[in-house]
Every structure is written in structure tokens, then in C-alpha cells.
């Protein structure tokens, strides 16, 4: 593979990963929103989750928040 071909290939991969990162940022935000929406005081626990279920949700949110999406 010639130098110019390699540079083009690398740039295409970079653009692909930039798009993937942007998509992941949006998805992360949506996931966090879904979990925070399940039982905050202002929405009166619409899904009727008990304390154990809410604890699980916040543990999952902690994991989601740990995703590195810059």
C-alpha cells in the first residue's frame, strides 16, 4: 500500500470513529435521561418502581456515566 493510500485509509477511519463517538454521546445522554426519568420526585414515580428497583437503576446510571464519550 502506498503512502497516499494509507493516509486516505486512515483519514476515512478517523472520520468513521468521529461519527461513532458523536452517535455514542447522543445515545449515552438518552440512556441517562431514561433512567433519571423513571422516578425523580417531580414525576411522581410514573413507572411505580420500588426502592430496590430504583437502586438498580441508579447503579446502571453510574455505569453509563462512566462511559468515556469525551
User: 6-63 pLDDT, tens per residue?
Assistant: 999 999 999 999 999 999 999 998 888 887 766 555 556 677 788 898 888 889 989 9
Q: Residue 59 is part of which domain span?
A: 3-65
| CB atoms closer than 10 angstroms to residue 39 | 19
Number of domains the chain is built from? 1
**Distance, CA of 50 to CA of 10 (rounded, Å):** 50
Residue 70 lies in a domain: no
Q: Is residue 44 part of a domain?
A: yes
The answer to whether residue 35 is domain-embedded is yes
Angle of helix 3-36 versus helix 51-65 axis, rounded to 10 = 160
Cell of 41: 420526585
In a domain, 22, yes or no: yes
For the full predicted model, state whether its pTM sits above 0.95. Answer: no
**Is position 7 within any domain?**
yes
Amino acid at each position: 500500500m502506498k503512502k497516499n493510500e494509507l493516509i486516505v485509509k486512515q483519514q476515512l477511519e478517523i472520520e468513521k470513529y468521529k461519527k461513532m463517538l458523536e452517535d455514542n454521546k447522543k445515545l449515552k445522554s438518552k440512556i441517562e435521561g431514561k433512567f433519571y426519568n423513571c422516578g425523580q420526585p417531580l414525576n411522581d414515580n410514573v413507572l411505580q418502581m420500588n426502592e430496590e428497583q430504583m437502586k438498580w437503576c441508579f447503579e446502571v446510571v453510574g455505569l453509563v456515566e462512566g462511559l468515556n464519550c469525551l
